[in-house]
């Protein structure tokens, strides 16, 4: 651990990685909480995997892969949202198809791009150590957009996440806010791709929020705790992976996964204990 901290002092790339991880935690905590309570993990998975299509096209034409990712993520969020609102009965089949088609487009374009390289692999599996100053500014910008949007539309997002039918009856433009929420998921996916890559992004989007849901009982607190947990997992993942030279993204996800299992066991045991106490009280 000391080796990591002395390297952190000496190497700007590690400082960038740490700042990038902390910035990514903000998006993952806030939007991840919506993904968990609204149970749209599958939709978020579809969005994150279809991002490869945009990246592949951007690579092929020599454009910024992150620009391609952002465009593809938002387009796929709108398309998936429309599919879900229009063909609810076949929602999972159509989202599964978009998920695979997005990836297939990406693979085709990448295969025809001369000099297909390591940098694309870093987007697939993540390489937080490659985060540079420009990426940090972009991540901070995305966080700002997320924070502003969620602050302004908190009640509407809460209503749409909780009970769409009732929100519609109260005159909330449910379709608009639902699609806006999916667009927020899309930009968060792009934010997190820098850290863990698009293959693993869904885990970082859902695990900190799912752990937070075990321990707090309000959406606001859930967002705060998920952000702190996301920060803890990225920092711990960086520290653990540094000395043995392990892939940081995969290590971060493993830390999050193990923490989720421990939290699940702890919260299940607590619920059983509470239930037993209630039964004892009822009998008395």
Which residues of this chain interact with another protein, rule CB under 8 A? 37, 39, 152-156, 158-159, 161-172, 213, 216-219, 221-222
Residue (43 or 239) nearer to another protein, CB: 43
Q: How far is the CB of 41 from another protein (least distance, A)?
A: 13
Coil, helix or strand at residue 172: coil
| Residues 185/191/192/195 CA torsion (nearest 10 deg) | 180
Q: Do residues 232 and 212 lie in contact, with contact meaning Cβ atoms separated by under 8 Å? A: no
Residue (25 or 156) nearer to another protein, CB: 156
* Cα–Cα distance for residue pair 191/31, rounded to 1 Å: 11
Residue (38 or 49) nearer to another protein, CB: 38
Q: How far is the CB of 161 from another protein (least distance, A)?
A: 8
Q: Do residues 51 and 257 lie in contact, with contact meaning Cβ atoms separated by under 8 Å? A: no
Q: How far is the CB of 185 from another protein (least distance, A)?
A: 18
Q: How far is the CB of 150 from another protein (least distance, A)?
A: 11
User: Token pair 């990246």 is at which residue?
Assistant: 55
* Cα–Cα distance for residue pair 100/117, rounded to 1 Å: 22
Q: How far is the CB of 171 from another protein (least distance, A)?
A: 4
Q: Is 126 left (phi over 0), alpha (psi -120 to 50) or beta?
A: left
Residue (138 or 225) nearer to another protein, CB: 225
* Cα–Cα distance for residue pair 24/176, rounded to 1 Å: 25
Q: How far is the CB of 59 from another protein (least distance, A)?
A: 40
Residue (59 or 157) nearer to another protein, CB: 157
Residues in the chain: 284
Residue (161 or 241) nearer to another protein, CB: 161
Of the candidates 145, 180, 143, 142, the one whose C-alpha atom is nearest the C-alpha of residue 159 is 180
Of the candidates 60, 3, 21, the one whose C-alpha atom is nearest the C-alpha of residue 253 is 21
Residue (198 or 212) nearer to another protein, CB: 212
Q: How far is the CB of 156 from another protein (least distance, A)?
A: 5
Q: How far is the CB of 37 from another protein (least distance, A)?
A: 6
Of the candidates 23, 48, 22, the one whose C-alpha atom is nearest the C-alpha of residue 35 is 48
Residue (138 or 223) nearer to another protein, CB: 223
| Cα dihedral sign, 31-36-41-45 | positive
Contacts of 196 by beta carbon, 8 Å cutoff, 6+ apart: 125, 126, 128, 203, 204, 249, 250, 252, 253
């Amino acid at each position: 651990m000391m080796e990591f901290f002395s390297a952190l002092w000496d190497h700007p790339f590690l400082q960038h990685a740490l700042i990038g991880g902390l910035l990514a935690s903000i998006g993952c905590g806030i939007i991840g909480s919506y993904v968990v309570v609204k149970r749209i993990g599958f939709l978020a998975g579809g969005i994150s995997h279809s991002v490869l299509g945009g990246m592949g096209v951007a690579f092929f034409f020599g454009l910024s892969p992150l620009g391609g990712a952002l465009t593809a993520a938002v387009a796929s969020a709108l398309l998936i949202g429309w599919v879900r609102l229009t063909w609810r009965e076949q929602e999972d089949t159509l989202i599964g198809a978009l998920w695979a088609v997005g990836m297939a487009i990406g693979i085709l374009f990448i295969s025809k791009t001369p000099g297909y390289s390591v940098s694309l692999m870093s987007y697939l599996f993540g390489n937080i150590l490659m985060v540079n100053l420009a990426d940090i500014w972009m991540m901070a910008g995305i966080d700002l957009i997320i924070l502003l949007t969620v602050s302004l539309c908190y009640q509407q997002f809460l209503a749409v996440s909780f009970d769409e039918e009732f929100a519609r009856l109260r005159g909330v433009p449910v379709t608009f806010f639902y699609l806006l929420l999916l667009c927020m998921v899309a930009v968060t996916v792009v934010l997190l791709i820098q850290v863990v890559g698009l293959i693993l992004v869904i885990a970082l989007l859902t695990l900190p929020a799912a752990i937070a849901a075990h321990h707090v009982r309000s959406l606001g607190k859930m967002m705060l705790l998920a952000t702190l947990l996301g920060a803890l997992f990225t920092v711990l993942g960086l520290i653990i992976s540094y000395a043995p030279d392990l892939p940081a993204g995969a290590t971060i996800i493993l830390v999050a996964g193990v923490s989720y299992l421990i939290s699940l066991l702890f919260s299940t045991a607590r619920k059983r204990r509470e239930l037993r106490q209630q039964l004892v009280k009822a009998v008395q």
